[in-house]
Amino acid sequence: MSTTTAVKPRRFHPPGLAPLGRIGGSIAPTVLSLGAGAILWEVGARIWNVRFLPPLSDVLVRLAELTADGLIVVSLRNSLINLALGFGISLVFGIGIGLLMGAYRKVEMALDWWVYGLDTAPGLVFAPIFFAIFGLGPEPIIAIIVMYAIFTIIVNTVAAIRTVPAPLIEMGRSYCASDRQLFFRIILPAATPLIMAGVRIGMGKAVKGMVNGEMFIAAVGLGAVIINAGRRFDSAAILAVLFVTIIVATVSVKIVQLVDARLTGWLPATQRRRRANG
């Protein structure tokens, strides 16, 4: 009498993607990379010994001093208010205009040149114009943030609507879906992943616009700290503020990613992991 032993099938995981139970282990390469970069910076700066590149330890000490003085906290609060207002405006109008351009060909033809032309223009070119219109205050900085972020969101939203698979639309029409149902129940959910990709890129650009606007329009927020440190040739303070800026950008993008994961929870698990790793 022969007996057979059941062989447990091995689970397949796409190349480059960690299993769900091991996602926490994917943090290790990031930690190792950051640690190696920190060591290289510290050692290289001490060997090179130039004023414009202080060691990492000096930068962290300077960051602690600025934080203890309250300068970083107050400046960061003002910068985050400008960022929230500017990115909020960019998000509402960017997605709204993008949806209209993607859904209606005539709207796209009317706005196409304006959107793509302004998207390629340097945002700081408009700084004197905004300063002349709004004067000295947060308004021109918020306008610069909008200029940096809104057109990226519009372009990605239009592309998202235009790249919805035709079979999905045909399937909706075969079930006698109205244009409204077709848009809100098929086209918009299918376009959401690409729209959120544009929102993530727009958030990164918004942080750049925030710092640039504060530096070139009004000496406020983190931009003011950078300008004052530059006048004193305080490289450690400049790099300390750069650290804070990178942290703000990273946290902001992570928040957008969390919202993205919530909105696209209906995607297959493998596709969600691929988008997270990408």
pLDDT tens for each residue of 150-176 = 999 999 999 999 888 888 888 888 887
What does 152-221 look like in DSSP terms, one character per residue? HHHHHHHHHHHTS-HHHHHHHHHTT--HHHHIIIIIHHHHHHHHHHHHHHHHHHHHHHHHHHHHHT---H
DSSP designation for 6: P
pLDDT digits (tens, 9 = 90+) for 200-214: 999 999 998 888 888
So what's the pLDDT on residue 83?
A: 93
Q: What is the 3-state secondary structure (H, E, C) of 32-94?
A: HHHHHHHHHHHHHHHHHCCCCCCCHHHHHHHHHHHHHCCHHHHHHHHHHHHHHHHHHHHHHHH
Query: Is the pLDDT assigned to residue 116 strictly greater than 80?
Result: yes
So what's the pLDDT on residue 7?
A: 46
So what's the pLDDT on residue 1?
A: 46
Q: Is residue 11 part of a domain?
A: no
What's the mean per-residue pLDDT of the chain? 81
Q: Is residue 173 part of a domain?
A: yes
Domain that holds residue 227: 53-277
Query: Is the pLDDT assigned to residue 76 strictly greater than 70?
Result: yes
Query: Is the pLDDT assigned to residue 235 strictly greater than 70?
Result: yes
- C-alpha span between 254 and 5 (Å, rounded): 47
Q: Is residue 99 part of a domain?
A: yes
Q: Is residue 194 part of a domain?
A: yes
What is the CATH classification number for the domain harbouring 213?
A: 1.10.3720.10
Q: Is residue 24 part of a domain?
A: no
For residue 35, CA distances in Å to 39, 53, 253 come to 6, 18, 22
Q: Is residue 19 part of a domain?
A: no
Q: What are the structure tokens assigned to 45, written together?
A: 């700066």
Number of domains in the chain: 1
SS3 275: helix
Query: Is the pLDDT assigned to residue 278 strictly greater than 60?
Result: no
pLDDT band at 270 (very low <50, low <70, confident <90, very high): very low
Q: Is residue 6 part of a domain?
A: no
- C-alpha span between 33 and 6 (Å, rounded): 42
Counting DSSP H helices and E strands in the chain, the numbers are 12, 0
Q: Is residue 16 part of a domain?
A: no
So what's the pLDDT on residue 178?
A: 81
How many other C-beta atoms are found inside a 10 Å radius of the C-beta of residue 91?
19
Residue 51, Ramachandran bin (φ over 0: left; ψ between -120 and 50: alpha; else beta): alpha
So what's the pLDDT on residue 266?
A: 65
pTM for this model (two decimals): 0.76
pLDDT band at 220 (very low <50, low <70, confident <90, very high): low
What average pLDDT score do residues 41-55 get? 84
Query: In this prediction, what percent of the chain has a pLDDT beyond 90?
Result: 21
- Spatial CA neighbour of 212 closest among 120, 118, 86: 86
